[in-house]
Chain A
């Protein structure tokens, strides 16, 4: 059974002063299997962000359903959504979204504290995870004292500490330099190899080339997808580039 099943997702925005309607998602269908590493690519305005917001339960679709482990997250009551998000989903954002009032350690522990876990339990999870991500020496520091790449690792740690069913990453390399990008993508590979399901939205061909599957979204629909299969990351990179060129040229390839 897929971990995430999205069927016929539609989202229509109505502009503030009525009248004008904008169709962000026309009809999106896809499934993510456990342990998969999926990248979603698309131009600005293609509906990527809308899709991610709906998957993250930050926004409601106009119609359609999103099943996480067979449970429709669209119908979760407003008051339960925060708890649901924190228990089942992990988030990594482009601009890290670390709180400057907390130390690195407290930033990572934040979701557990919100979930009401005991400090003992927090300690048990924190150290092994920090070691795995290579940030165990930073725990006592504050966000303003560490580099962008380190911040993003902290954000990954925060996403993973709740042992989520799926990690949703929104342009995770967007604010990083090339070295930090490489390092983060390798980290994602490693985490994925350990069995973590990842869904990433990105503009970056390089980031997407690390995924096992890349979906292209255009005009609110999944337009095309590429599988890595047994191929290397370099081959994947090439395939993505070709597809993007084709898309830019306005090709009418079948999905």
Chain B
């Protein structure tokens, strides 16, 4: 073909001429590709796998999260790329129409579009892969810091990840090309030429949507605020999120218009210079941008929830570990009371410290305690029943732990001075602790116990790994504990829980040495006679703080990392949507403000008016997002209890910090993109 070089030239030229639109698009594409490549490379890094054979650790979590995150990230990228593509095509309608009128057939336009897409793919995907390869190592090092993931030497290239990422994005771009070709095929050139210049209809007040928005938002908020436990939160979270998302769309599309129209009805208010232009301008902006703004709002909310939640989890892990492991080693013994050979805690402690000392390591006890834990249902009157599924208790299942005052003093260092028959309690309403000893079997009722509560505890003295609400009761002595054990056994019979004895030991050696110590302990404990004089018991095991740390940080760090990664992708999308919105607003406003200037609006007034409207449009989503966050806080807090994070103050601080940082980032993006807007309007 004689002019075959014309098409590539046209394609290059049109991308260059439209670089204001295409450059951010390609950059965002690069960011997405790089992020997804890194995620897939992290899933498969064989070097890391080899360094951690078989043991549960941070990397395991990272690997699981990344393979999940990849899918979310890709699905999101797909929606996002299609959205931006739609916007780009709208802007370019005129240019394509001109080509058509100047004598290019639709087939020729298709060739130009194809070449353009290939160029975008080359830069976007190619650049993204290169960026991904470069940043992969850096990300590995960050992960090493966060979750203790080992970093292999050398430079790992995940060919699989690269090919998959490239293939998926090529597919995505191919879809955009098909969408565009279809648009061109269906259009008449005169329409292409006219482009976005359609008559503007006034937005209608949509009563149903307005009402729906208020109701769904209210319901979502209500659920979020009234959720009481972590388990409830799992069930209701997605319902609440769904309601709030629906509510947000209605809020932006219908409620906003309803409010603006009400303002317009108020003549005294409306017919003032600043309100007049502002209200009517906003009315149209909201009509055109409602969905976009709702998208931005939801994205912002997601990013903030994800970051604040995962950050709280990560930062709260240190507290959780301290709570769970008062010393380097937790020794845990499960036992049932035995009349002839009762379990002897002091002897057990002596055996344990004796063994450790025999290995040349100094051990010191951080205290011991004995506890009994079983599940119970809480009735509406605040009393408890061992028949968890009796009427009125379903959904209010608690985990009840009983410890002695001695054990309480050993852990907290405080003395309570309880009289016989009295208790101290955490998380029990009223002045009396009442337990109905009802059995599920055939509805047997075995009486009830009532203990006056001498002191209410404000924090849980007993670390119990439970996802339901925890109730902790301190009883005066071993006799009282035994009594409760007897009653529990009578109810649960063969299913009754054992008593659990804990000893917390601190040792003066490093992590590696403790691991060695544990191995030698396992060898030694196999000997008959090792546990001489300790009485009868079921299980005795060591739980190492270092292992708990590794696992917890692996989980929390993995989550935080995923949060950061998805947060990055969502933020990228937010930034781009804001940017494109600014541009399209700019082109529309240009004409409007020219007319106003002709009719007698001064330059300064124009500028002020533009500024306030744009400010309102772009800060509305993040303000609404922040309100969402406030209501969502309770739920995040409850969800975090599932990971044994109970530090509300820390969570609040993390949330506040995230919102603040996000506002600043948003502000910077706004200022940068607003410059483009002013350039368009004032030209």
Contacts and interface: CB of A to CB of B under 8 A. Distances in A.
A142 B600 contact: no
Contacts of A98: 595
Contact of A82 (B276, B281, B592, B601): B601
Interface stretch (A21-29, A85-93, A230-238): A85-93
Chain B binding surface SS class: helix
Contacts of B599: 86, 91, 97, 110-111, 114, 158
B268 interface: yes
Interface in A101-115: 101-103, 106, 109-111, 113-115
Contact of A100 (B199, B276, B597): B199
A129 interface: no
B596, B599, B604 interface centre (most CB from chain A within 10 Å): B599
B283 to A, nearest CB: 7
Given A100-B199, A101-B592, A109 B271 contact: yes
A106 B276 contact: yes
Contacts of B283: 101
A82 B201 contact: no
Interface residues of A, number: 33
B201 to A, nearest CB: 7
Interface in B601-630: 601-605
A58 interface: yes
Nearest to A97: B595
Interface string A56-67: 101000000000
Question: DSSP majority for the A interface?
Answer: helix
Contacts of B592: 99, 101
Interface in B267-285: 267-268, 271-273, 276, 280-281, 283-284
B585 to A, nearest CB: 13
Nearest to A109: B271
Contacts of A111: 599-600
Most buried by B among A56, A58, A114, A115: A114
B598 A101 contact: no
A193 interface: no
A83 B596 contact: no
A115 B271 CA distance: 11
B91 to A, nearest CB: 20
A183 to B, nearest CB: 23
Given A97-B598, A111-B600, A82 B200 contact: no
B271 A144 contact: no
A114 B596 CA distance: 9
Contact of A119 (B271, B273, B280, B600): B271
A116 interface: yes
B563 to A, nearest CB: 41
Interface in B190-226: 199-202
Q: Which of A83, A87, A99, A119 gathers most chain B CB within 10 Å?
A: A99
Nearest to A96: B595
A179 interface: no
Nearest to A116: B273
Contacts of A54: none
A131 interface: no
A176 interface: no
A86 B276 CA distance: 16
Interface string B584-600: 00000000100111111
A225 B534 CA distance: 125
A6 interface: no
A79 B605 CA distance: 10
B271 A82 contact: no
A98 B598 CA distance: 11
Contacts of B276: 106, 110, 113
A81 interface: yes
A122 interface: yes
Given A101-B592, A102-B280, A106-B276, A82 B267 contact: no
Given A91-B598, A110-B599, A144 B199 contact: yes
Interface in A17-61: 56, 58
23 contacts: A79-B602, A79-B604, A82-B600, A82-B605, A85-B600, A86-B600, A98-B595, A99-B592, A99-B596, A101-B280, A101-B284, A106-B276, A110-B276, A111-B599, A113-B271, A114-B599, A114-B605, A116-B273, A118-B271, A119-B267, A119-B268, A142-B202, A144-B199
Interface of A: 56, 58, 78-79, 81-83, 85-87, 91, 93, 97-103, 106, 109-111, 113-116, 118-119, 122, 142, 144, 158
Given A82-B600, A86-B599, A101-B592, 4 more contacts: A83-B602, A99-B596, A109-B271, A144-B201
